[in-house]
Structure 1
Amino acid sequence: MSSRAAIEEAIEWSACLRDESLLPSERHAFERWLDADPLNAQAWNAVQGQVQRVLMPAGETHARRVLQAPRPSRRHLLRGALAIAGMGVVTQVLRQPGMPLAEFSADLRTGTGERLNTQLADGSRLVLDAQSAVDIEMGTDVRRLSLRTGKIILDVSHDPRPFNILTTFGSVQANGTRLMVAAYESFTHVWALGPGVRISTRSNAQLALQPDQGARFNDLIERLAANRSGESTWQDGWLNVQDWSLGDVISALQPYRRGILRVSPNAARLRVSGVFSLDHSDRALAALAQTMPLRIQRYSDWWVSVDLA
Structure 2
Amino acid sequence: MNQASLLDHLQPSPAVVRQAIEWMMRLNNNAASPRVHRRCEQWRAAHPDHECAWQRVLSLNADLHSRFQALPASGAAFDALETSAQRLGRRQALKLLSGLLVAGSGAYLAKDLAPWQQWTADFSTRIGQRSGFALTDGTRLRLNTDSAVDQNFSARQRLITLNKGEILINCGSDAGSIPPRPLLVGCKHGMVEGLAGCFVMRQEEKHTRLSVTEGRVLIHSPVSIPLTVHAGQSYSINGQHADLLPEPDMDPGAWADGLIVTRNMRLGDFIAEVARYRRGYVGCEQDVAQLRLSGVFRLEDTDKLLALLPQSLPVRLNYRTRWWVTLQRNA
TM value normalised by structure 2: 0.63
Is 1:278–1:284's contact at 8 Å kept on the other side of the alignment?
Answer: yes
Q: How far 1:251 moved relative to its partner? A: 2.3
**Residues 180 and 297 (structure 1 numbering): CA distance in 2 closer, same or farther, change over 3 Å?**
same
**What is the aligned partner in structure 1 of residue 163 from structure 2?**
148
- The answer to which of 211-220 and 152-161 deviates more is 211-220
- Secondary structure, counterpart of 1:249 in structure 2: helix
- Taking only the aligned residue pairs, the percentage that are identical comes to 28
**Deviations 1:22-58 (CA, angstroms, capped at 9, x unpaired):** xxxxxx955x654x43xx1168xxxxxxxxxxxxxxx
- Counterpart CA distance in 2 for 1:222 and 1:237 is 28
Gapped regions of structure 1 (runs ≥ 5): 9-27, 44-97
- The answer to which of 201-210 and 174-183 deviates more is 201-210
Matched, 1:286 2:307: yes
- Secondary structure, counterpart of 1:173 in structure 2: strand
- Secondary structure, counterpart of 2:215 in structure 1: coil
**Residues 186 and 267 (structure 1 numbering): CA distance in 2 closer, same or farther, change over 3 Å?**
farther
Which structure would you say has the larger Rg? Answer: 2
**Residues 229 and 291 (structure 1 numbering): CA distance in 2 closer, same or farther, change over 3 Å?**
closer
- Secondary structure, counterpart of 1:250 in structure 2: helix
Q: How far 1:178 moved relative to its partner? A: 1.0
Is 2:140–2:170's contact at 8 Å kept on the other side of the alignment?
Answer: yes
- Counterpart CA distance in 1 for 2:308 and 2:279 is 19
Choose which of 166, 183, 192 in structure 1 pairs with 2:212: 192
Matches within 5 A, 1:1-309: 4=84, 34=107, 36-37=108-109, 40-41=110-111, 99-100=115-116, 102-159=117-174, 160-201=180-221, 204=224, 206-218=226-238, 219-228=240-249, 230-309=251-330
Q: CA RMSD in A?
A: 2.7
**Residues 268 and 222 (structure 1 numbering): CA distance in 2 closer, same or farther, change over 3 Å?**
farther
**Residues 292 and 208 (structure 1 numbering): CA distance in 2 closer, same or farther, change over 3 Å?**
same
Q: How far 1:293 moved relative to its partner? A: 2.1
Q: How far 1:113 moved relative to its partner? A: 1.7
**Residues 279 and 120 (structure 1 numbering): CA distance in 2 closer, same or farther, change over 3 Å?**
same
- Counterpart CA distance in 2 for 1:305 and 1:161 is 49
**Residues 257 and 188 (structure 1 numbering): CA distance in 2 closer, same or farther, change over 3 Å?**
same
**Residues 278 and 6 (structure 1 numbering): CA distance in 2 closer, same or farther, change over 3 Å?**
farther
Between the two proteins, the alignment pairs up a number of residues equal to 231
Greater relative contact order, per chain length (Cα 8 Å cut-off, separation 6+): 1
- The answer to which of 211-220 and 126-135 deviates more is 211-220
- Secondary structure, counterpart of 1:231 in structure 2: coil
Q: How far 1:197 moved relative to its partner? A: 0.7
- Secondary structure, counterpart of 2:269 in structure 1: helix
TM value normalised by structure 1: 0.67
